[in-house]
Amino acid sequence: MRYTSHTTSGDGTTERDLDHDGVPGVLWTPAGTVTGLVLSAHGGGQHKRAPGVVARAHHCAAAGLAVLTLDTPGHGDRPRTAQDDHFATEIRARLTTGQDAGALIAEYNALLAAQAVPEWRSALDVLTGTLGIGENVGFWGLSLGSAVGIPLAAAEPRIRTAVFGLLGATADLTRAAAATTATVRFLLQCDDQLVPRDAALALFDAFTTRRKTLHANPGGHGEVPRHELDDAVGFLAAG
């Protein structure tokens, strides 16, 4: 992991751009003692410096948590392949013509996750060796972020707490959810135009741990209320 820039903001949070084996990312570390690490994955079509990702990072840092984010394959500063362009075009076409894009998004998400999971795991190896974060490792990613995070958590028992949601069940995700040992906070939006409620409930049900809670709020896919995001920071900080 190679750090390419280093800035400190007014609240004392240090922000480093980084390159991890060719994957661009950002690491935020709090001013004081680091009490844990959050792996923060962005949503579909977003990137490591999307406004929501940056806001979440500063909020976590204020609670003593370091935050790592990586650009997902085909997103942000990473090259886009012909396959990425194909899926992006097809998904956009279906959404703009009012067709159901769910199956296509799920297929693309699974391809991206297969590539992203080993990237996150090796980045976690590096950071647990250097940050002194102890055992408090959390994950936060919704929508595409959960499509990456659920198989990641299934493969990675170091992840103790996870904020997932805005995603429906598939056969692969159901299997991964059943293998996840983390304590899960699952967010559902009641008026989600991309994820049918029954599909989201089925994915929540697929987690076999009893340490799981679903929070449902009014609003569309991108309208998770501020109080829910604030609360998720506290959930991750509590470890």
Would you say 17 or 231 has its CB closer to a second copy?
Answer: 231
Residues that bind a second copy (CB under 8 A): 190, 197, 201, 204-205, 210, 212-219, 225, 227-228
Q: Is 31 exposed, middle or buried (0-12, 13-18, 19+ CB in 10 A)?
A: middle
Q: In angstroms, what is the minimal distance from the CB of 210 to a second copy?
A: 5
Q: In angstroms, what is the minimal distance from the CB of 201 to a second copy?
A: 8
Would you say 28 or 207 has its CB closer to a second copy?
Answer: 207
Q: In angstroms, what is the minimal distance from the CB of 141 to a second copy?
A: 20
Q: In angstroms, what is the minimal distance from the CB of 217 to a second copy?
A: 5
Would you say 9 or 213 has its CB closer to a second copy?
Answer: 213
Q: How far apart are CA 67 and CA 79, in angstroms?
A: 24
Residue whose entry in the numeric block shows the structure tokens 């994955």: 41
Residues near 157 by beta carbon (within 8 Å), at least 6 away in sequence: 181
Would you say 101 or 150 has its CB closer to a second copy?
Answer: 150
CA atoms within 13 A on the CB side of 36: 26
The dihedral built from the CA positions of residue 111, 113, 118 and 119, taken in this order, carries a sign that is positive
Would you say 2 or 210 has its CB closer to a second copy?
Answer: 210
Q: In angstroms, what is the minimal distance from the CB of 225 to a second copy?
A: 8
Yes or no: say if 171 and 71 are a contact pair by the CB < 8 Å rule. Answer: no
Instruction: Bin 115: left if φ > 0, else alpha if -120 < ψ < 50, else beta.
Output: alpha
Give Cα 133 distance to the centre of its chain. Answer: 19
**Tokens of residue 140, six digits:** 């936060």
Yes or no: say if 40 and 53 are a contact pair by the CB < 8 Å rule. Answer: yes
Q: In angstroms, what is the minimal distance from the CB of 181 to a second copy?
A: 15
Q: Where are the beta strands (DSSP E) in 64-114?
A: 65-70
Would you say 85 or 223 has its CB closer to a second copy?
Answer: 223
